[in-house]
Structure 1
């Protein structure tokens, strides 16, 4: 039965059930309590394209896991065991986060609102679509939690990442025979600028050049796949290391290509910048997906489902 028809049938069946409406009220109250974090995340994604793009990639990766995996709908719109456990966990973490705001010296507890938010989403999906989504929701909840925490640290990571990108780009360009220089330039009354000079052409290594977007997205893909596959701790660390290395490498490659092409394409610099950035961004993510053994075809379990249905 199609998902929409199954959900519609469940609603008609549970419409007169008081427990169903009490469960909906629990989710509604939790959503209202977590609304400030939702608003902050939406505003951050709107203001920072790198966060928005990472969110899109994470969503696409989740769809691929659903597409190539085996997701079954069972007991929809029911507070099953896993949904109930996730819901109570979300409420408990939320209560601790509020408690941390009231107690002096326990401000760090307020950060628990982030995992509370993630487990609330997991509980909601399990409630709507059933117990069969438990593995997927656990995977996405953990990855989203990492995503939100790193998003908070985007500003502090800007200059360290910018410095790494500038230093390595200069080293590579110098190694292939280009005349290079790297330095900090501070215009009067303005913020300092990291300037990379190549063959007497100055390039501003701006915040958009720090590679935060491609590094963050690569890291999220690695964590998503490791958690979904229930990888060992060693494999998780290996995935994270490889994803960070690939993210850094492709960001530096992007800068080097742009710098080399810029003198001959200055009239179309913005277009060239976007094309090179897009190609290196998606090439990196595809490579991370393959290296971390992301699914590229249907699993044996998923293949058996339509075959079994056909036999009936």
Structure 2
């Protein structure tokens, strides 16, 4: 009994707790405030990205996939990461890079450099929130965010060329099927493409350019590349393959709409949306199928005894 009393009276080791005025706790507050001010500096850029995304259905599809991939990646992680609010050299370097890129972007009036600075700030926030052992989980999301920023900037430049390609190649396919289509360019006052199939006119509008299918598929291929145990060349080759599949499924969508529209004259909008959703999921499913382990060459991690897939 006396021994038990002595053991109970002896102080037991406990986990270290932050004392009042702990420098580490102060560092966290300072770093958190610096990150908040950094994102406030990017507020005009974030507002522009939000407006462009809300105005473009194609960008909305890509953004939804990015959010879903981020949530899913953290949800299935084992062990599931917890917020650490740690401050180390990785946080400071990325935060410094963000401010440096802001200054360079303002000096050269470069939107792309400003986007790179925003990406560096997002990387700093990820390093601040996650412990070092879990930071690799943020790599696919950061890469996807960078791709999304590029897609947002490229949309106005690629809209018309993609519409032209969609109209020309869909007309070729319809001609091969014996429908004798006609493609016309109309200035009213902006240029418009009109596709005539079986006496019915179709406008090759912005939503027909295939940008959403191409970018969403490319984003999926990019994110899957971080989880694939395959050679680097295979992961890179999956990106143009995904873009090509997106373009092909957009052509199939145009063909389906133009050929089925005469049979559903009172439900054109429903046909348009159904064909679009079907093409989107069929394209994403094809890219997922291409990324299947049976279709890719073995990478270094799968040579010999295969291990469980893990983020690359």
TM range (shorter): 0.7 to 0.9
Greater percentage in helix: 1
With 121-130 and 162-171 compared, the bigger mean Cα shift is at 121-130
> Which one of the candidate residues 79, 83, 87 is aligned to 2:95?
87
Matched ranges for 1:143-162 at <5 A: 143-162=144-163
Match for residue 179 of structure 2? 178
With 244-253 and 156-165 compared, the bigger mean Cα shift is at 156-165
Output the CA distance in 2 between the equivalents of 1:126 and 1:255: 44
Q: Normalising by structure 1, report the TM-score.
A: 0.81
Structure 1: unaligned runs, 5 residues or longer: 1-11, 102-107, 303-312
Matched ranges for 1:231-242 at <5 A: 232-242=231-241
C-alpha RMSD of matched pairs (Å): 2.5
Matched ranges for 1:1-312 at <5 A: 17-70=25-78, 72-73=80-81, 76-101=84-109, 108=110, 110-187=111-188, 190-229=189-228, 232-293=231-292, 300=308
Tell me how many residue pairs correspond in the alignment: 278
CA positional deviation for 1:154:
0.7
Q: Give the direction of change, closer, same or farther, for the CA distance of 1:292–1:95 in structure 2 (3 Å limit).
A: farther
Q: Which has the larger radius of gyration?
A: 2
Structure 2: unaligned runs, 5 residues or longer: 1-16, 294-306
- Aligned residues of 1:126 and 1:133 also touching (Cα < 8 A): no
Output the CA distance in 1 between the equivalents of 2:79 and 2:133: 6
Q: Give the direction of change, closer, same or farther, for the CA distance of 1:230–1:93 in structure 2 (3 Å limit).
A: farther
- Aligned residues of 2:59 and 2:212 also touching (Cα < 8 A): yes
Output the CA distance in 2 between the equivalents of 1:290 and 1:65: 19
Q: Normalising by structure 2, report the TM-score.
A: 0.81
